[in-house]
Amino acid sequence: MNEVPKTVWWDDVPCLIDQLRLPAMLDIVRCEDLNSVIEAIRSMQVRGAPAIGITAAYGMALAAKRSTAQTSSKLIEKLVKAKSLLDAARPTAINLAWATQRMLDIAQANAQLEPDQLRQRLLAEAETIRDQDEAMCRAIGQHGKTLLAQTRNVLTHCNAGGLATAAYGTALAPIRAVHEDGQPIHVWVDETRPFLQGARLTAWELQQAGIDLTLITDNMAAYFMQQGHVDCIIVGSDRIAANGDVANKIGTYGLAVLAKAHNIPLYVAAPTSTIDLQTANGAAIPIEQRSTQEVTHIGQQAIAAEGIKVAHPAFDVTPAHLVTAIITEQGIAYPPFAEQLHTMVEAANAANARQ
């Protein structure tokens, strides 16, 4: 099987696949300063909650590297400012703030080190975050494949594959796992308007991996459900509230309602770093409002009349009662979610503390 190239890595500076150029071209972006990291996140050259978190962790390491601070206390002051700038780049994906906070915590816990030693420690922590993400995704795949034992046709929305993570994916991880086991599997890929992550990224990833797929427009999903051609839906998430409400790419809530109407299970796959126990429910999750041009244009080509009113919420929230199960690296949670999610986060935190 052909593996998707790693999405984000460190080569003297943060490097990443430019997802705006796929599938036409596989280009690499080198982020030479903090502003270029922020712009890569904001413009969606890198996207997907886990990949954004990894990039932000590398951004913190880069901010430390570029800082001329002569003391660790001054360096930490610079990192506090860098965290604030990074966190504002995309507000819905909790992995971003989770990663920058973890990096800041490491800096503050090691304030006794000399500045250059602290810089090295921060880069090591960013590398650990990247490595842990890939391990978590592979664990999600192993847990999630048990839900696909009798499944032939899966529908997915947006891109929650290797390009959205360190390498292996969240929603695509169980699909990859059953494919690697030799089980026949077919994926309906929503194109995912308006940014076309499904058409541009997920279809490309699955094709590279040799997994059978069919690309459809978002408004075809109900038809294929009605015809009995969808066995389950698997999506990723940018933030999961403490009660199990799920924020994900706009259109996920509509799929959840359709799934309920057709008695089709909806699975959410995400690492525990996506679970936000400080947010009680989905109503408290900030929803990013993106550029209207992403709706009125495809690439540089206008598809709507100039001057019309346009709305573009980038995410919606699926209530927990429409979610069949949440798959994490710690296992599978079923409704009611609150206690299980809390236990999973505690277990993940304890495992990270031991490493």
- Extract the annotated binding site for substrate: 47-49, 90, 197, 248-249
C-alpha to C-alpha distance for 111 and 105, rounded to whole angstroms: 10
Q: Which among 167, 311, 164, 309 is positioned nearest to 248, based on CA atoms?
A: 164
Alpha helices in the chain (DSSP H): 34-43, 49-66, 72-87, 94-109, 115-144, 172-180, 197, 203-209, 221-226, 252-261, 293-296, 338-354
Give Cα 340 to chain centroid, integer Å: 21
Tokens 């550029």 belong to residue: 291
- The greatest distance separating any two alpha carbons of the chain, rounded to the nearest whole angstrom, comes to 66
Give Cα 324 to chain centroid, integer Å: 20
Query: Token digits for 323?
Result: 């979610």
- Extract the annotated binding site: 47-49, 90, 197, 248-249
Active site residues: 238
C-alpha to C-alpha distance for 13 and 152, rounded to whole angstroms: 42
Q: Which among 198, 208, 209 is positioned nearest to 164, based on CA atoms?
A: 198
194 preceded by cis ω (within 30°)?
A: yes
336 preceded by cis ω (within 30°)?
A: yes
